[in-house]
Amino acid sequence: MSEDILVIGGGIAGMQASLDLADMGINVHLVESLPSIGGKMSQLDKTFPTNDCAI
């Protein structure tokens, strides 16, 4: 039995899920295969429809 949660993938979805769980007080293990988290979204210059900076 464990109360921890594993999140596979550190893109925008994985990061958001991890933060939500961590804020609930749950221990999260976030596994990402690349050297840095951020995923495809970190490659984007801006995001629609507000033209906010992606990072």
Partner 1 sequence: MLDVGRHPNIDLLAYSEIEKVEGQAGDFTVTVRRKARFVDESKCTGCGACEGKCPTIVSDDFNEGLGTRKAIYAYFAQGIPSTRTIDADYCRQLNGKKCGICQKTCQADAIDFDQKDRIVELNVGAIICAAGYEVFDPSQIPEYRYQEIPNVVTAMEFERLLSASGPTGGHVDRPSDRAVESEIAEFEKKAKKSEKVVANFEKKYESNSAEFYEKFQSGQYKDDKDRVKWADKYSENLVIVESLEALKKKAETFATAKRLAFIQCVGSRDFRFYPFCSGYCCMHSIKEAIVANEHDTETTSTIFGMDIRAVGKGFEEYKIRGGNNSAISYTRSRVAEITEGQNSNPVVTYEDTRERKIKNQEFDMVILATACAPSAGIVDLSKLLGIELDDYNFIKTSPFSPVDCSIPGIFVCGCAGAPMDVPESVAQASSAAERAAETVFQYNFNKEKAVA
Q: Which residues bind partner 1 (CB under 8 A)?
A: 1-51, 55
CB of 37 to partner 1, least distance (A): 5
Instruction: Give me the least distance between CB of 7 and partner 1, in Å please.
Output: 5
Min separation Cβ 53 and partner 1, Å: 9
Q: Quick one: three-class SS letters along the chain?
A: CCCCEEEECCCHHHHHHHHHHHHCCCCEEEECCCCCCCCHHHHCCEECCCCEECC
